[in-house]
A and B are shown apart, each in its own frame.
Chain A
Amino acid sequence: MKLTPVPNALGETILAGTAGSGLRVFVNPRPRYAHTFAAFGPNFGSVDRVASANGQPIPEGLAHFLEHKLFEDSAGDVSDRFAALGASTNAMTGFCGTTYIVSTIEQPGACLDLLLDFVQDPWFTEALVAKEQGIIAQEIRMYDDDPDWRVFFGLMGCLYEKHPARDNIAGTVESIAEIDAATLRRCYDLFYHPRNMVLAVSGALSPDDVAAIVEADQSGRPADALPPHERSLTDEPRTRRAPRFELALPVARPRLLLGIKETVLGGDGLTVSRRELATRILLDILFGPSSAAFEELYADGLIDETFGVSHAAEASFGFSTLGGDTDDPERLQARLLEVFERARQQGLDRAAFARIRNKILGGLLRSLDSPETVASALLSDAFRGVPPFAALDLVEAITLEDLSRRLAEHVREDAIAAAIVRPTP
Chain B
Amino acid sequence: MTPTPLATARDPFEVIAAPGGVELHLQRTDKYKSVLLLWVVEAPLDERRAARALLPDLLTRGTARSPGLAAMAARCEELYAMDLLAEVSAHGRLQLLRFGFEAVADRYSGGRPLFMEAADLLAEVLHEPPLPGGRLRADFLEQERTNLVHAIAAMADDKALYSYRRLVETMHAGTPFALHPWGTVEQAAALDEPAVRAAWDEVRDELPVRLMIVGDVSREQALDACARLLAGTRHAPHAPAQLAPALPERPLRHVREVQPLAQSKLVMGFRVQPELLPGAAAPLFGLVFGGDSHSRLFKRVREAESLAYGCSAGVSIESATAVVQAGVDAVNAPRTQELVLDELRRLAEHGVREDELALSRRAQLRRLDNLKDSPRAACAFRLGALMSGRPHVLEEARERVQRVTPEQVAAVAAGCEADTVFLLEGKLP
Report chain A residues within 8 Å CB of B79.
Answer: 362
Report chain A residues within 8 Å CB of B307.
Answer: 134, 138
Within 8 A of A (CB), among B111-168: 139, 143, 146-147, 150-151, 153-154, 156-157, 159
- Interface pick from B342-350, B358-366, B409-417: B358-366
- Interface pick from A31-39, A219-227, A311-319: A31-39
A299 within 8 A of B: yes
With A and B bound together, what is the CA distance between A361 and B426 in angstroms?
46
Q: Are A305 and B302 in contact (CB under 8 A)?
A: no
User: 22 A-B Cβ contacts within 8 A?
Assistant: A83-B362, A84-B358, A103-B370, A131-B303, A135-B303, A138-B327, A141-B426, A142-B263, A145-B262, A145-B263, A252-B150, A289-B70, A290-B77, A291-B70, A305-B147, A355-B77, A358-B77, A358-B81, A360-B81, A361-B80, A363-B81, A366-B102
Report chain A residues within 8 Å CB of B143.
Answer: 298-299, 301
With A and B bound together, what is the CA distance between A359 and B76 in angstroms?
8
Q: Are A365 and B104 in contact (CB under 8 A)?
A: yes
Within 8 A of A (CB), among B47-90: 57, 68-74, 76-83
A349-383 vs B, CB cutoff 8 Å, 1 = contact: the mask equals 00010011011111101101111000000000000
Q: Are A33 and B73 in contact (CB under 8 A)?
A: no
Q: Are B303 and A147 in contact (CB under 8 A)?
A: no
Report chain B residues within 8 Å CB of A299.
Answer: 139, 143
- Measured CB to CB, the closest approach of chain B to A298, in angstroms, equals 6
Quick one: which of A87, A144, A292, A325 contacts B154, CB cutoff 8 A?
A: A325
Q: Are A105 and B370 in contact (CB under 8 A)?
A: yes
B328 within 8 A of A: yes
Most buried by A among B32, B262, B292, B365: B262
- Measured CB to CB, the closest approach of chain B to A152, in angstroms, equals 14
Number of B residues with CB within 8 Å of any CB on chain A: 65
Report chain B residues within 8 Å CB of A236.
Answer: none
A52-87 vs B, CB cutoff 8 Å, 1 = contact: the mask equals 000000000000000000000000010110011011
Number of A residues with CB within 8 Å of any CB on chain B: 64
- Measured CB to CB, the closest approach of chain A to B148, in angstroms, equals 10
In chain B, what residue has the closest Cβ to A306?
B154
With A and B bound together, what is the CA distance between A384 and B140 in angstroms?
45
Q: Are A83 and B359 in contact (CB under 8 A)?
A: yes
Give the top 5 A-B pairs by smallest Cβ distance, nearest first: A134-B306, A362-B80, A362-B81, A289-B73, A290-B73
Task: Known contacts A305-B57, A366-B104; decide if A253 and B154 are in contact (CB<8 Å).
Answer: yes
A217 within 8 A of B: no
A interface residue numbers (CB < 8 A to B) = 32-35, 77, 79-80, 83-84, 86-88, 103-106, 131-136, 138-139, 141-142, 144-145, 147, 249-253, 288-292, 294-295, 298-299, 301, 304-306, 325, 352, 355-356, 358-363, 365-366, 368-371, 424
Task: Known contacts A84-B359, A84-B362, A365-B34; decide if A141 and B77 are in contact (CB<8 Å).
Answer: no
Number of A-B residue pairs at CB separation under 8 A: 177
B214-245 vs A, CB cutoff 8 Å, 1 = contact: the mask equals 00000000000000000000000000000000
Report chain A residues within 8 Å CB of B156.
Answer: 250-252
Report chain A residues within 8 Å CB of B294.
Answer: 77, 79-80, 83
B250 within 8 A of A: no
With A and B bound together, what is the CA distance between A88 and B293 in angstroms?
9
- Measured CB to CB, the closest approach of chain A to B353, in angstroms, equals 13
In chain B, what residue has the closest Cβ to A104?
B366
B338 within 8 A of A: no
In chain B, what residue has the closest Cβ to A290?
B73
- Measured CB to CB, the closest approach of chain A to B63, in angstroms, equals 15
Report chain B residues within 8 Å CB of A369.
Answer: 32-34, 375
B175 within 8 A of A: no
Report chain A residues within 8 Å CB of B334.
Answer: none
In chain A, what residue has the closest Cβ to B360?
A83
Q: Are A80 and B303 in contact (CB under 8 A)?
A: no
Q: Are B263 and A358 in contact (CB under 8 A)?
A: no
Task: Known contacts A141-B263, A366-B33; decide if A79 and B150 are in contact (CB<8 Å).
Answer: no
